[in-house]
Structure 1
């Protein structure tokens, strides 16, 4: 009986060791101290399973508005500043960008179509899952410096080597993974090595909460609904004036 008890304890310990604190998180972290940062050489990257052809599918850098639509996050209202002079009135408007230190990569049109073609050719055995990758940097300046280096479009198979490992030994990352139907979200928090805490913890928490609240994506061909792939899981209240066929 004692041997069985010991073996059960060993099995439980082994299961606990395999559970990464930031992997498949369902409850967003409440403070930056809860985030487990690791060197870029140790942090987990994207997983592809046995679908090696998926590595050749591409993702592209998203625009800020596309990120908001992806997360079903309401856009930030424009703040209008009015300056009045004696001779004329000059009004200038400026819009605040949400998540200014976040860079996101979405599946390209080719990837979306290739996923469906691959699923059809393999008689339903090929994967239909796309990947979305978000990097939340600790500062806007860090994001801008990295954006100059990273390509605007990259094959999924090169993300681990060129984006995650490519940041070098001077950075640390925390990884979060969420499966939402046919789309898997990978969220990475990035900071300089040696820094304590995470200055963009609020943005990170908001993004994680938004991803958790999303419904499963049953069919990601909805990403092709608008010209230039502007919309993901987004319903425009204004009907189009005309449509070209």
Structure 2
């Protein structure tokens, strides 16, 4: 299997991030790698600089407003490599990210492989890869979608990203890939991305809280009986019962 990767990114009204995104990927992509940016119906159509237009590694797809899940699927459909890496428009990949994740996928082709961010707290002894039980996601999602890499076969077997969700598309894909494609979730435990944590500039920070929590519950309920039972499942049930007993906060 070739270790070439395609970095996929979607953008909606995020032209202000394009310059930093381009500068980062020009430095990050190896000669065999590619990058696809899908403009998901921005009010002012995204355009590449002359430098990117002349760089054969980059491809810009302009779409109508189809939603992020459909835009991610569109990017993967147009990828010419077997390996896919996700990067949010306002995050950055570290220089060695693609080589490290490609090597891991060479040994674990059925995995969804994640990495830490430079802003994550360092935990002594936690730098080795660790497998994450899907049921762990019922206590919270510790995985950065912007650090995800996988083989397109996993995406195909999982039937792609959901196209009918307003948010939580990443969590739905992790559970969908685990349940439908038998994908294992792995976290490398080393920082391979730098995240934008500024709430005023965070690209995906504008989702209304009620919509987020309602969608989150819908996603978790959908896969609840399909996720293998583990100690994380027990903890999630205990927490739900505790919240129910305490009732809503005033």
| Both structures adopt the same fold (TM-score exceeding 0.5) | no
Larger radius of gyration: 1
Greater RCO (CA < 8 Å, at least 6 residues apart): 1
Using the size of structure 1 for normalisation, the TM-score is: 0.25
